[in-house]
Amino acid sequence: MKLTVLIDNNTLIDRYLLGEPGVSYFIEADDKKLLFDTGYSDAFIRNAQKLNINLLDIDHVVLSHAHLDHTWGLDPLIKLYTEAQIEGMDHSEPDLIAHPLIFNSRTYCGLQEIGTLLSTDKLSKFFSLRLSSEPLWITENAVFLGEIPRRFDFEHDPLESKIIIDGKQTDDEILDDTALAIKTENGLVIVTGCSHSGICNIIEYAKEVCNEDKIVDIIGGFHLQNPPDIKMRGTVDYFRDLNVKEVHACHCTDLGSKIELAKVCDLKEVGCGLQIEYK
């Protein structure tokens, strides 16, 4: 298995790639190519081109949740496919895997839309939609976790945004927030977007779904931005007992949270262009 960071908030020194506050990862596993999230703009496409990664040849697009910094890159991805057709270039027809609530409209603090911009009707012209709230095995070893059970009280955040369901506005619990778990020879690699559902909740569910307690790595956003003390303490205590080989906390994980996590686990740097190979 190999993972390449196409988009993160950070860039790496002497790597002249674009960064933006978002997430996009290119993952190769079981002879399949997965695109996990699409960031906010076309920056993930431009970085992929510099890294000689062909996004016209991917098998699966997986979305961690609806928010703009993870899904608004779908529009330039569709433009990429359309332009390939115009130029007579071959391209795959990947499926798109996400939670069924991924396309519901979201609002936040006066912003009229912070969720996915494209409708199921339009996306179905370019992707085969596979929407599931249950775990969905994508390859022999890679599973989309679906809706994450919320088990740890310390990870419960105040509900700040709104979602439209059946024409009615209600508090958004971000139930579509999910992750990937990938089995390797040495244990699980867990790939997250923002972990609104709680990074500890995600890890516990990944272990349950995969029937595996060994964790090789966790990479992605941990939704730890100036967290309350109870959340930070609970997360640090959980990671202290987790015995994970290494951790790549990034995107929506602030410096103070990284410092606290680094006290109990081997925390690694993340930036656009980072490539990690797992056996």
Count other Cβ atoms within 10 Å, centred on residue 199.
29
Short-list 25, 47, 23, CA closest to 34: 25
Per-residue pLDDT at 279? 85
Per-residue pLDDT at 217? 98
The CATH number that applies at residue 74 is: 3.60.15.10
Residues of the chain with pLDDT under 50: none
Domain that residue 143 falls in: 2-277
* Rg of the chain taking only CA atoms, in angstroms: 18
Euclidean distance between CA atoms 24 and 132, whole angstroms: 21
CA distances from 153 to 106, 149, 202, 245 (A): 24, 11, 13, 26
Count other Cβ atoms within 10 Å, centred on residue 152.
16
CB 5, CB 271: distance < 8 Å:
yes
pLDDT one-digit tens code per residue, 22-56: 999 999 999 999 999 999 999 999 999 999 999 99
- Number of folded domains that form the chain: 1
